[in-house]
Amino acid sequence: MTSALYLLSAFFVFFIISAFSQNTFAAKNFSTRGSKINKISRLISSGNSRKASVKIMSLLKLKEYRRSKPRLYFLLGLSFEKLNLKHSSVWALLQSIKSSNGSGRYAQTSLTRLLLTASFLKDGKSIKEALSLISLTSFDRKNRAKLYYILGKNYFAKNNFNKAALYFSKVQRRSSLYFLSRYFLANSLTEAKKLRRALREFKKITNKSKPYTKMHTASLLGQARVYYQLKNYKRALTFYYKVPRDSEFWLDSLQESAWTELRLNKLNGSLRHFQTIHSSYYKENYIPESLILRAVVYLKLCKYDEIKKILKIYNQEYTRALGDVSYLLKNKGSIYKFYIKLLSKKKVKSWQTKLASSDAAITLFKQIISLIKEKNNLSRFYSSRSNSARSVFKNIRSQLSFSKNSLRVLGTYSLAKMNQQLINLKKQKDFIRYELLKSRQTAIKKKIVEKKLGIQKEYIEEDKRDFYIQNGYEYWPFQGEYWLDELGNYYYIGGSSCAK
């Protein structure tokens, strides 16, 4: 009995000593891990980010640092940011959020930094992934306005205008993003066909912003567009006229006011806008529908010589464009290279300018250039064969492939849209030509009848439209128009030539 008790007590003592030793060893290991990470943190603070990142990537491969991943990835993101490896920084911060399951100290800190860097890079994919991992209510109040704005822009880009309006409306007045958010809120409401509410928002922006600023002018144009959709064309016209001529929105307001004048059956007013749009000042702009619409107005006024000349201009500028666009769509493999060359050039054709001015295409092009540069910088800092840096290189290759494919898809969509527009305009052009020939035929028949009946009509050389057309002038010297300014702003005061 005594020996049994002795053995039991000996086992109990051994168990206690063993457990104590394991805890001591674990605590010692934890302390060692903590001190190593702290040393890495000090390396980053002292400006030795490259050395710190190499150490972090090595530690991330070790099993004993599994629980420290949120902090290690956060520090890796910080070191990449210091090395100006922004895409890799976003990736590391995203890994920090993932490894912490979207909660805890490092998830919040990583998300804040990720949103700032990814917004600068316009990396919507990473923002969306990060926000899907973390609760928005736990996001710190200091940066919440920026979060709502980013979410609003993200939904706006996806044409989810109701959701976009919801987030834009949450941005508080004290935020620096307030006015910009209200502008996007008004646009979201317009797209969602909530026109009365959109009008109220545009009016608030107009009243509270400084005159002649970009925001003030954009809100004036926004009001004009809402009134147009409400079919209050007279009111729309008053706001189109308020857009300053030195504004970047001036050409848009001219085109839209021409349509508005046509809706009001003010043909002369509509023509004067087309005179301006088709002046040499705006020659490089892609606006084929304006030529067709101008020809339609001339058809209503029975100005057949002008119609002929406008259709000739259209053929010179846009028939070749349709052929080029159709060729690219048949050879889809060349679309990516076409876009890269296009976005690299400074001077291109008008239809190419339209494609190159797309914000989405410019963003993707900049991302591709940025990723290529970062890939080269990564190769300078780290070995691509290194086991620890393999995931970083894999991420850059994946992002680059995604951006290239996105540009290819966007390019195909934009070209297909332009191709369809040019096909539709060609049909309208052919219809106008048919109407022109039909009207000419009617006029010839009328002359034959007048001749048979012996009706004489006096002609003065200067009254013949051929006299002016053959000299290459659209309205030279004719009682119809006069110059308003050096940009080619005409006032058309001519009348209809249609037979009474």
One DSSP character per residue, 246-305 reads TSTTHHHHHHHHHHHHHHTT-HHHHHHHHHHHTSGGGTTS--HHHHHHHHHHHHHTT-HH
Q: What is the pTM of this model?
A: 0.77
Phi-psi region of 85 (alpha: psi -120 to 50; beta: other; left: phi over 0): beta
Q: Which two tokens stand for residue 423?
A: 């096909």
Q: What is the pLDDT of residues 83-116, one digit of tens each?
A: 999 999 999 999 999 998 888 888 888 988 998 8
Question: What letters, b where the CB count within 10 A reaches 16 and e where it falls short, cover 401-418?
Answer: eebbebbbebbbebbeeb
Q: Which amino acid is at 350?
A: S
Number of Cβ atoms within 10 Å of the Cβ of 426: 17
Q: Which residues pair with 490 in a beta bridge?
A: 483
Q: Which residues pair with 491 in a beta bridge?
A: 482
- Give the start-to-end residue ranges of the domains of the chain: 66-139
Q: What local confidence, expressed as pLDDT, does residue 184 receive?
A: 96
Per-residue pLDDT 10s for the chain (500 aa) are 455 544 445 444 444 444 444 444 344 444 566 678 889 889 999 989 999 999 999 999 888 888 899 999 999 999 999 999 999 999 999 999 999 888 888 888 898 899 889 988 988 889 889 888 887 766 777 778 888 898 898 889 888 999 999 999 999 888 889 999 999 999 999 999 999 999 999 999 999 988 889 999 999 999 999 999 999 999 999 999 999 988 889 989 999 999 899 888 888 888 888 888 887 788 788 889 999 999 988 888 888 888 999 999 999 889 999 999 999 999 988 999 999 999 988 777 888 888 988 889 999 999 999 999 999 999 999 987 788 889 999 999 999 999 999 999 999 999 999 999 999 999 999 999 998 888 878 877 877 877 777 666 554 444 444 443 444 433 333 344 434 444 344 444 455 566 55
Q: What angle do CA 195, 197, 202 make, to 5 degrees?
A: 90
Q: What local confidence, expressed as pLDDT, does residue 35 receive?
A: 77
**Alpha-carbon distances of 429 from 151, 265, 333, 422, 449, rounded to whole Å:** 43, 21, 31, 10, 30
Helix axes 359-381, 390-452, angle to 10 degrees: 160
Q: What local confidence, expressed as pLDDT, does residue 480 receive?
A: 42
Q: What local confidence, expressed as pLDDT, does residue 367 receive?
A: 95
